[in-house]
Structure 1
Amino acid sequence: MENSLFLTFSSFLFVIHFVPLAASTPSYLSFLQCLSKHSHPSDHILSRLYTPNNSSYKSVLQHYIRNQRFNRSTTPKLDIIFTPLQESHAQVAVTCCRKTDKYLKIRSGGHDYKGISYVSNISFVLLDMSNLRSIDVDIQNETAWVQAGALLGELYYRIWEKSKVHAFPTGVCPTVGVGGHITGGGYGNLLRKYGLGGGGASFGVISAYILRLVKVPDVVTVFRVVRTLEENAIDIVYWWQFIAEKIDSNLFIRLALKPIDEKQKGTKTITATFVALFLGDSRELLSIMDRDFPQLGLRIEDCKEMSWIESELFWASFPNETLPDALLNRKPGAKFLKRKSDYLQKPIPKDKLKSIFDKMIELGDTELVFNQYSGRMSEIPEWETPFPHRAGNIFKIQYAANWGKEGKEAENFYINQTRVLYNYMTPFVSKSSRCA
């Protein structure tokens, strides 16, 4: 597995019981009997079960639903939620699902975009890992023992409590669950420096991980710079495609293209927002940008020096002066959203970029987010880890639509927008087969 992301899975892998291949009968009596048989009465294991007849079922189910599209009365509901308080509880649940031929799904933070961990048209048991979230940071050995139900923000905070010069290279959304992020190949703004791991999500339930921490400097630098069409956004984005693979691996820049309303003109335009993390001070960053990416026109006043933990707050769009303990919040506001992904392997010609901008303006509400690859990502062969998308990819592209209005009509409108833009991008992205 990748050198920086993690050393090993938990030594306790719930005896690696597999999810059964056949759906079960509606009755869960045999499952409940199995739980009682394989647990000690003092464990009170049945008290951790929630069914639709339980008054707490709805709140437990909804607590980690991050996409409101899958929080409707018509959404297929699971039969049982099981919220273990200790690893032995989870082991018994997996054992009994296998013995009684029940489907099992595992939820860590609930951030899967399509609700895969908690929505299904067949009956299943949800193993909710949210109570298994202890974190033990060992700075002397530069490791952290983290249970699968912990969130990224909690991990970052606990590392920061012990050291101001250590980090872990995962994502920039603090409410993502550690379990799903690591097994699913989640990415963040340290991937060009330290790479990306991932894999193993299909063979068993993992209770905890030993993570190898990485070093970060006392001072890092961030910026968020917006360029409009009037400020040559098309030219800047065009040149960025050629520069992104070669620029210093201590620098990560995310590019977001977004249609916005020009209120004075009554029309729409596109903004190109460049958001960066640099592992160093602002003067060093400015020197790199002036040399390698002068087209952006970065100025010293655009740059903000801060600690690594403060940069996590910046990237998560917290207000200035927010204290690090905000990362411990486990209850973000859920919203309606749609996401799709692509990989860009060759620069898009300038005239085609303009046509993409025009299509985005025509559609009106779908954003394109370009996450920079290369650096350490390109040094690791695609066959070395379960995550194959490495050398040869300039950007991972995300199609993003968010909305606040309820109802199928609004949902169909925004989903259709992402699909239209996704289809429009077909000539420019990875082929044979299209990767996502």
Structure 2
Amino acid sequence: MDEALVRSLTPGVLAVLVRRGADFAAAEDAVQDALVEAVRSWPDDPPRDPKGWLVTAAWRKFLDAVRSDTARQRREERIDQEPAPGPAPEADDTLQLYFLCAHPSLTASSAVALTLRAVGGLTTRQIAEAYLVPEATMAQRISRAKRTVSGVRLDRAGDVATVLRVLYLVFNEGYSGDVDLAAEAIRLTRQLAARIDHPEVSGLLALMLLHHARLSARTAPDGSLVPLTGQDRSRWDTGLITEGVGILQAALARDRLGEFQAQAAVAALHADAPTAEETDWVQIVEWYDELAALTPNPVARLNRAVALGEADGPRAGLAALAELDPALPRHTAASAYLHERAGDLARAAELYAEAAQKATNAPERDHLFKQAASCTLRGAGNCAANPRQPAAPRHPSVAPEGISPSTSRR
């Protein structure tokens, strides 16, 4: 059986059942039962209309479940008679399913899990492995999410911004287990872009493509983190970069700027620079100014401070950083980097070590400890050579990726 085909059909089948009146939890269970039946029967007798087959089988499973539960007799009276088998309707309800899975009543983690299950067609096991949690834990999370949205009908427009943030969270998880969540987020965002004409959907897709293009250059053969300035740019995927820039340009031309478009513009400027030294930091600062005007997210201002340190010098960056809450994620790492750029290697080493202790993953922690050790050694060497001269700043070893710090770990 073609797993990719089944995954692409699953959200549409689920949406048809919900549209017909099934609550979300019961509909999702029925679709899963239909998929099990498809696994048994399709290899020997493949259907001419796979979606129509799944819709018919899932609806029958749903009706059987309703009729077998005496507590649901009242709801059974409201259910229309079973439609005759035939081609699935052409109407596409998948977009509404995106909105349902990103319903405001769900927590971010539940919305992500439900989106991957219902829209992405992933199994509970795959989602659990991707998030490094027990399958039973993920099953409970998904079950709670299904119960939460069971009473919500697909009869009104949803919030595009909420859907985009859920997809962004999926993308930020990167890779774990046998599912590449970054690639899955791109697939789902492409699917969304085909169903809705919205510049921010295009902006998010462009942002994902531009960052995914650098995936192979982000880690060394030993698994250690390679910061942006140290990456081998010949390993970047030029096809993804070209596609991302094209999508971004078309979105910006509509003159409806949003935060994902602004972030994608920063990523495009990084991708456009042949070398780290040729990065147009002045334009990047300007885009961060646009981003800060669009969203109150202080992470944008933190990234702007680092970019300003590149454009106008580290002292300017440190001054901008001093205006922000030190408790911000990666504030300490940014301060360490700017102190290193300013030649204050002793203070940089202290801050790098402090930032390493706050790191949330091993590659980032190891990288920051290495930076601390490097600053310590270079500071000691400079002092021994000329104790009266401050250490000279070197080429930056870390720099902003152009999006929120949570994605720089991929």
In which range does the TM-score fall when normalised by the shorter chain?
under 0.3
Higher relative strand content? 1
Which structure carries more helix by proportion? Answer: 2
Rg (Cα) greater in structure:
2
Query: Larger relative contact order (C-alpha < 8 A, sep ≥ 6)?
Result: 1
